[in-house]
Structure 1
Amino acid sequence: MIRGLYTSATGMLAAQTQSEIIGDNVANVKTPGYKEKLASNVSFPSMLIERMGGNQATEAVQIGGLGTGVGVDRTVQSTIQGALETTGVKTDLALTSPGYFTVQTPGGDRYTRDGRFQLDANGMLQSPDGYALLGENGPIGPLSSEFSVKADGTIMDNGRVVDRLRVAEISADALKREGQSLYSSSQPVQASVATQVLQGSIEASNVDLPGQMVQMMTVMKAYEANQRVIQTQDEMIGKAVNEVGKI
């Protein structure tokens, strides 16, 4: 009976973690380049239950398996392409191929799909947070306001090639979100060989809002079901202590 309390409690904790992940996704439904987080559950090791007592000469009778709980195994980023929104702004860039823009931060290179870049006072391309956008030769710029970006990521300005965008290919398992639409990688990254860039557009969040709402309802029902199980078990323990013990 006590083991059942722990099993139900782990179910509630898993549901709570899932609801936090869903809430994070919903909060970023309007964040350009945001990638939906996906969570998967894993069951704890099950136990084989046998009947005890009776004639010791007979073999133990197996009753069946007993689950010991469930937890959130891991979270990964969805790699589904978000919708493309045309802005007409030259500094807005969208990747229509797998990969991530590379920006330079004080903590090292970071990766993003948020293409809302801008020119600073020195004509250098940077992210909304002030991080330099990197090309194959380092920070990109200085540029004039009439620069252009070809589909393969080549940056042109005044008829000359300035640089080519450094686009990194990273597996979903290696991505670690650090906020501000930035990611780091737990594995070495490779340069994309099939970069496709669209200037004057940004990639919207790929969060499926109706799907998130359905998942939230499912998680809430699972949480409430485990809560009722704990209440029932608590009542049973109370009767065992206060009523059965008097007999």
Structure 2
Amino acid sequence: MENAVFIGLSQQMALKRRLDMTANNLANVNTTAFKSEHPLFEEFLVERLNQEDVSFVQDYGSYRDLREGEFTHTGRPLDLAISGAGYFSIETPEGIRYTRNGSFRLDNDGYIVTINNQALLDENNRKIMVDVQFQEVTVAPDGTITTAPGQTQKIGMVQFENQQVLKQIGNGLYDAEDFRPQPATDVSVMQRTLEKSNVNPILEMTSMIDIMRAYQSAQQLLDSENDLQLKAIEELPAVQ
């Protein structure tokens, strides 16, 4: 009986993890360039002497859906989207972080920054500054920024051999930790455009319903096992 209880509990713990990730995906359905995440599960066998092995559910990781979201035209000159497996480099107090959220603006000093006032970096990891007296800013597909008098700088775009190693840290930023980025290739920048989240709300809602049903089924198993244990406790003294 205890094995059934432990198996049911392991399933509920895995379902809770899946529910948390599904809820986070739904919460970010309108977040620029957000990539949905999904859990990974595997079977965990416990060997028992002279008895059948017990199979549990083990949550051992997650994977990120790297498909591009829909590109939408905004008309704002500092709204940028990357087509391809590239990331913008952003300066933060904790060091350089990476993002695909290209919603930028100019601060009072003329630096191109995110909505959280974190500077966009060029290919040499320097802050990108434009002359604020010139309103026209042009960004070429290769990331070259040109202003009216001909001032040019190039946006630093990087890529990773395995994008799954990037860790989400909030505000659309990723931490590469000890993994070194490489200059991005086969990517292009689209000006006046933003990438939408790639979350499919219908699929996520369907997944949430399936999770709730599976959780209820596991709970019914636990309730049944609890009833059996209580009944056994009541009848064992009479049998003895």
TM > 0.5? yes
Matches within 5 A, 1:119-158: 119-137=106-124, 138-143=126-131, 144-158=134-148
Q: Which residue of 1 aligns with 2:90?
A: 103
Residues 76-131 of structure 1, C-alpha deviations (whole Å, 9 max, x = no match): 22110000110010010011111111100000011111111001111110001000
Are 1:114 and 2:105 matched, yes or no? no
Q: Secondary structure at the match of 1:134?
A: coil
Conserved? CA contact 1:94–1:199, under 8 Å: yes
Residues 40-71 of structure 1, C-alpha deviations (whole Å, 9 max, x = no match): 112222436736xxxxxxxxxxxx4431x213
Q: Secondary structure at the match of 1:40?
A: strand
- Cα pair distance change 1:49/1:208, threshold 3 Å: farther
The one of 177, 195, 211 equivalent to 1:203 is: 195
Q: Secondary structure at the match of 2:32?
A: coil
Q: Which residue of 1 aligns with 2:176?
A: 185
Q: Secondary structure at the match of 1:243?
A: helix
Q: Secondary structure at the match of 1:205?
A: coil
How far apart, in 1, do the equivalents of 2:175 and 2:163 lie?
11
Q: Which residue of 2 aligns with 1:213?
A: 205
Conserved? CA contact 2:3–2:54, under 8 Å: no
One-letter amino acid of the structure 1 residue matched with residue 167 of structure 2 = K
How far apart, in 2, do the equivalents of 1:163 and 1:134 lie?
10
Report % sequence identity.
27
Mark the runs of 5 or more structure 2 residues left unpaired by the alignment. none
One-letter amino acid of the structure 2 residue matched with residue 140 of structure 1 = I
CA shift, 1:166, in A, is 0.9
| More off after superposition, 41-50 vs 186-195 | 41-50
One-letter amino acid of the structure 1 residue matched with residue 137 of structure 2 = F
Superposition CA RMSD, Å: 1.5
CA shift, 1:245, in A, is 3.1
How far apart, in 2, do the equivalents of 1:179 and 1:87 lie?
23
One-letter amino acid of the structure 2 residue matched with residue 176 of structure 1 = K
How far apart, in 1, do the equivalents of 2:152 and 2:235 lie?
84
CA shift, 1:156, in A, is 1.2
How far apart, in 2, do the equivalents of 1:122 and 1:100 lie?
24
| More off after superposition, 122-131 vs 160-169 | 160-169
How far apart, in 1, do the equivalents of 2:118 and 2:66 lie?
23
- Give the TM-score normalised by structure 2: 0.92
Q: Which residue of 1 aligns with 2:225?
A: 233
Conserved? CA contact 2:41–2:61, under 8 Å: yes
Conserved? CA contact 1:29–1:206, under 8 Å: yes
- Give the TM-score normalised by structure 1: 0.90
CA shift, 1:23, in A, is 0.4
* Pairs aligned (count): 234
Conserved? CA contact 2:88–2:156, under 8 Å: yes
Larger Rg: 1
Conserved? CA contact 1:49–1:66, under 8 Å: no
One-letter amino acid of the structure 2 residue matched with residue 142 of structure 1 = V
How far apart, in 2, do the equivalents of 1:159 and 1:194 lie?
29
CA shift, 1:142, in A, is 2.4
- Cα pair distance change 1:242/1:165, threshold 3 Å: same
Q: Which residue of 2 aligns with 1:172?
A: 163
Q: Secondary structure at the match of 2:45?
A: coil
Mark the runs of 5 or more structure 1 residues left unpaired by the alignment. 52-63
How far apart, in 2, do the equivalents of 1:243 and 1:229 lie?
21
Q: Which residue of 2 aligns with 1:59?
A: none
Conserved? CA contact 2:17–2:39, under 8 Å: no
